[in-house]
Amino acid sequence: MTKTTASSRIDTRIDPMIKKKAEKQLTQHGLTMSEFIRMVVTTVAKDGLPEHYGFPNDQVVKSLAEVTDDLAGTKKLKNAASKQELERLLNE
């Protein structure tokens, strides 16, 4: 009796340079991109996300939004000219 295993396809988009660099690293370890992705997804399915993998909490998300707004010029962050002034701003 032959056991047939159905499979699903995963498609994703990634920067071409990142893909090229990853393929180079994986090739050095005798792996293809497909093999590596299959290993990672299987591990997550069986064991969950690794301990060191984390999602940003609300405070981090808000901080990143503030920095993005500052860089875009839509909302400027307060500046500090000295360590004491910075400490005062951080404690507000």
* Interatomic CA distance for residues 10 and 85, integer angstroms: 51
**Please, which residues have CB within 8 angstroms of residue 39's CB and are 6 or more apart in sequence?**
31
pLDDT of residue 4: 60
* Interatomic CA distance for residues 49 and 56, integer angstroms: 14
What stretches in the chain show pLDDT beneath 50? none
Q: Are 33 and 22 in contact (CB under 8 A)?
A: yes
pLDDT of residue 78: 81
Backbone angles phi, psi at 67, to 5 degrees: -65, -45
pLDDT of residue 72: 87
pLDDT of residue 3: 62
Helix (H) / strand (E) element for 39: namely helix 33-47
pLDDT of residue 54: 76
pLDDT of residue 51: 78
